[in-house]
Amino acid sequence: MTFYSVLEVTPTNDTWVADYIEPANRLVAQYGGKYLARTSSHERVEGEGGAPALRIIIEWPLRQAAIDFMNDEEYAPHLKARTAGSVSHHFLIEGKDDLAS
């Protein structure tokens, strides 16, 4: 079953960004993930709330691939830097329709 990581990221400083991109790209690919969107071009069309600087969507072949990526020892210092240098929200969403008849 396909899963999607949906992230909202607003950097509070950008000192971590340059060192984050290459390892994140490589490790996402290593775990079978594929970036569908990494963009500051987004708009709210319904509801209220904050406006994150970036929205990121990653497609994963399995839930475990996303979990393994997040728990990878090589990723750990980059995750720590990102969470320390940003306001981040990460949702893992199963690619299914619970409301389909």
Distance between CA atoms of residues 52 and 10, nearest Å: 5
Residue 101 resides in a domain: no
- pTM of this prediction? 0.94
Residue 16 resides in a domain: yes
Residue 21 resides in a domain: yes
Residue 7's domain comprises 3-43+51-94
Residue 100 resides in a domain: no
Residue 37 resides in a domain: yes
We report the CATH number of the domain holding residue 14 as 3.30.70.100
- Under 8 Å CB-to-CB from 14, ≥6 apart: which residues? 85
94: exposed, middle or buried (C-beta count within 10 Å: 0-12, 13-18, 19+)? exposed
Residue 99 resides in a domain: no
Neighbours of 15 (CB within 10 A): 12
What is the pLDDT at residue 101?
77
Distance between CA atoms of residues 9 and 52, nearest Å: 6
What is the pLDDT at residue 28?
98
What is the pLDDT at residue 50?
87
What is the pLDDT at residue 11?
97
**What is the number of domains present in the chain?**
1
Mean pLDDT by 10 residues, the chain (101 residues): 97 96 98 97 92 96 98 98 97 96 77
What is the pLDDT at residue 82?
97
Q: For residue 74, which of 11, 23, 19, 6 has the smallest C-alpha distance?
A: 23
